[in-house]
Amino acid sequence: MAELTYREAVGAAIAQEMRLDSNVVFLGEDVAAAGGVFKTTAGLLDEFGPERVKDTPISEQAIIGAAMGASMTGLKPIAEIMFSDFFAVCWDLVANQIAKTRYMTDGQCSFPLVLRSANGGGSRFGAQHSQSIENWAMAIPGLKVVAPSNSADVMGLLAASIRDPDPVMFFEQKSLYALKGDVPDGEHVESLGVARIARAGTDVTIAALAAMVPRALKAAKVLQDQHGISCEVVDVRSLVPLDTQTILDSVTRTSRLVTVEENPRLCGWGAELSSIVAEELFWNLDGPIVRITTPHIPLPSADELEDAVMPSSERIVQNIKNLVD
């Protein structure tokens, strides 16, 4: 085992796949010489050279357009959009071209590409640089959507995304970049579309994603130690494909579901998951499904306000106490 930060795992996964496959290339704004604005890709230019690691102009449309063309002609590009909010600038290419052209050409064109981005709040970047946009992506047929919560999953799921024949949107929660964790030695690849039981429990299922997973785990420990409530924490990891079986199996055991999502409440991924559980397991439930979310507001940049609106471990504890009592 090696201990890597979340940001180091990003670079390690890209390097692993570039060493294994000469068709993997990497492009984005300040990703080469500067090593990325979040220092996730330091050293890649030195190892792989400017033919495979390319700095681009400050143009999201150019970055995504180049990646799309490269994937259509046999390469496996990884394209970085610095902040996920900036996908709004190039959303036509993502939603109307990349997501649909394989279907519209009857498979004559394929898109083995990864669109990486720093996603989510908690870092005081304000409303235009802190959005959590997984729900934008999962609403578009033809895209796979992945959001890891720890270093091992960053490496394993990013490697799997690079190898996948379909376009994958890979969201790295920026407030987790300094988080350290163990990563298996040697070649490490996970499977897309498989949730992970992060903590076993019997009373409540908590489904969480990315930065909400460590908050859910902290809350689960408090609930067990102080209130005798046993929570099973499911790290969803992949929204498309969505591992409904693992989540349904968990809710069957616990009879209660709480979703913890950083997305704004309206149309978040937790609403879809709640709908699935209500349809499949209505008579198994011992209480209402509870969604813990960020309000439907632009995210504040002031420390106290940002902390107040994002789901916290304290809010998770209180909501679950109310549910079980």
- Show the CA angle centred on residue 261, arms to residues 250 and 217, nearest 5°: 60
Q: How far apart are CA 21 and CA 35, in angstroms?
A: 21
Classify residue 30 by its DSSP letter.
Answer: T
Please compute the mean of the pLDDT values over residues 291-320 and round it to a whole number. Answer: 96
pLDDT for 216 equals 98
Beta bridge partners of 210: none
- Alpha carbon 285 to its chain centroid, in Å, reads 28
Share of the chain above pLDDT 70, in %: 100
Task: Enumerate the β-bridge partners of residue 240.
Answer: 145
Place of tokens 């940001």: 7
Q: Catalytic residue at 306? A: no
Position 1 confidence tier, pLDDT thresholds 50, 70, 90: confident
d(CA 155, CA 160): 9
Spot the catalytic one: 60, 134, 172, 262: 60
Q: Is 60 a catalytic residue?
A: yes
Domain 196-324 fold is Rossmann fold (3.40.50)
Structure tokens at 206: 């908590």
Looking at the chain, the domain(s) classified CATH 3.40.50.920 span 196-324
Task: Report the chain's mean pLDDT, rounded to a whole number.
Answer: 97
Instruction: Give the pLDDT confidence of 216-228 residue by residue, as tens digits.
Output: 999 999 999 999 9
The answer to whether 237 touches 153, Cβ cutoff 8 Å, is yes
Q: In this predicted model, what pLDDT tens digit does every residue of 15-31 receive, in sequence order? A: 999 999 999 999 999 99
Report which DSSP code applies to 298: P
* Average pLDDT, integer, range 87-95: 97
Fold held by 2-183: Rossmann fold (3.40.50)
pLDDT for the residue numbered 325: 86
| Residue ranges matching CATH 3.40.50.970 in the chain | 2-183
